[in-house]
Amino acid sequence: MMGDAVSTPVGTEADILRVLIARDALSERVQALGAQISQDYAGRDLFLVAVLKGSVVFMADLIRAITVPHRIDFMATSSYGASTQSTGAVQIIKDLEESIEGRHVLIVEDIIDSGHTLAYLRRLLLARNPASLCICSLLDKKERREANVPVDYVGFVIPNEFVVGYGLDFNELYRNLPFIGVLKPEKYQA
Ligand code: IMP
Ligand code: MG
C-alpha cells in the first residue's frame, strides 16, 4: 500500500473510478450545442464569457462548433481549491476586459452544482445592461441546486458525484483527461 502510493503519480487516469461521459459523447453534444447556439444567435452581437479555469476545454471546443460571428472573454471566480463542496462565497479574481452593454452575452460554464457561482455572476453581469444574458453549462448536477438560476443550454444532467476531466479539476489536476470521469472517493477523502 505505502509503496504503491509513493510509486504511482497522483493526477492520472489511474485515479478514475469510471468514465461517466466518453470523449465521443462529449464531442457529439458540444457540436449540437454549438449548432443550437448558432441558430439562436444568428444576426446578434454574441459575446461568450467563460468562467476560468474549468470551462477552458469546453469553451475551446464550443466556439469551434459555433458558426456565427462572436467575441470571447474570460472571468475568474474563487474556486473550490482542494475541497469538493461549494461554500456559496464567490469572489471575482479576474474581470472582463470590455463592456457588455447592449451585447448578447452567453456565460459558458463547466458545471452548475449549488448554483451559487452562476447566480452571483448572473446578477453581476445583468447590472451591466447586456441586451440579453443566457447561460450554457456543459454539466448540471441538478439535485444539488440551492440557488435558482435559469440555465438555457445544458450539455448533460449528471448525478451527484464528484467528476473531473475535460477541464474539470480536483486540486488543479485531471483537467487534461479527454472524458468526464468519476474520481475514486479515496482520492479526495484523504
Ligand atoms: P456551484 O457554485 O456550487 O454551482 O459550483 C460551481 C463550480 O464548482 C464549478 O464551476 C466547478 O468549478 C466546481 N465544481 C462543482 N462540482 C464539481 C465537480 O464535480 N468537479 C469539479 N468541479 C466541480
Ligand atoms: Mg467552474
Over residues 48-85, the pLDDT tens digits come to 999 999 999 999 999 999 999 999 999 998 755 445 55
* Cα 140 to ligand 2 centre (Å): 12
List the one residue out of 79, 86, 78 whose CA is nearest residue 171: 79
Please give the share of the chain, as a percent, with pLDDT higher than 70: 89
Per-residue pLDDT, 82: 47
Question: Hey, what's the cell of 81?
Answer: 481549491
Determine, yes or no, domain membership for 20. yes
Residue 153 is predicted with a pLDDT of 98
- Residue 169 designated active-site: no
Mean pLDDT of 116-141: 96
Q: Return the percentage of the chain with pLDDT > 90, whole number.
A: 82
90 pLDDT more than 80: no
Residue 2 lies in a domain: no
For the entire predicted model, the pTM comes to: 0.91
**168 lies in a domain?**
yes
Verify whether ligand 1 is closer than 6 Å to residue 167 (CB atom): no
Q: What is the CATH number of the domain that holds 132?
A: 3.40.50.2020
| Overall number of domains in the chain | 1
**Taking 90 as the threshold, does the pLDDT of residue 33 lie above it?**
yes
Question: In which domain, by residue range, is 66 found?
Answer: 13-80+87-187
| Listed residue (76, 165, 177, 168) closest to 113, CA to CA | 168
Work out the average pLDDT over 39-43: 98
Closest CA to 170 of 154, 159, 181: 181
Does residue 174 surpass a pLDDT of 60?
yes
Asked if residue 1 is part of any domain, the answer here is no
Are the C-beta atoms of residues 6 and 162 closer than 8 Å to each other?
A: no
Does pLDDT of 141 surpass 60? Answer: yes
Kind of pairing between the strands at 16-21 and 46-52? unpaired
Distance CA 110, CA 37 (A): 16
- pLDDT value at residue 134: 98
- Is 53 contained in some domain? yes
Kindly give the distance from the C-alpha atom of residue 33 to the centroid of ligand 1, in angstroms, as a whole number.
Answer: 20
CA 129/CA 63 separation, integer angstroms: 24
Mean pLDDT on 23-42: 98
C-alpha cell at 146: 440551492
* 4 lies in some domain: no
Choose, from 110, 113, 140, 169, the residue flagged as catalytic. 113
Each residue's pLDDT tens digit, 95-124: 999 999 999 999 999 999 999 889 999 999
Q: Within a domain: residue 158? A: yes
Alpha-carbon span 155 to 58, nearest angstrom: 10
CA distance 150 to 16: 31
Q: What is the pLDDT of residue 26?
A: 98
Please report where in the chains the cell 450545442 appears, as a residue.
Answer: 33
**Does any domain span residue 6?**
no
Q: Which atom of ligand 1 is nearest to the CA of 109?
A: 10
Atom in ligand 1 nearest the alpha carbon of residue 170: 21
Q: Are strands 70-77 and 153-157 parallel, antiparallel or unpaired?
A: unpaired
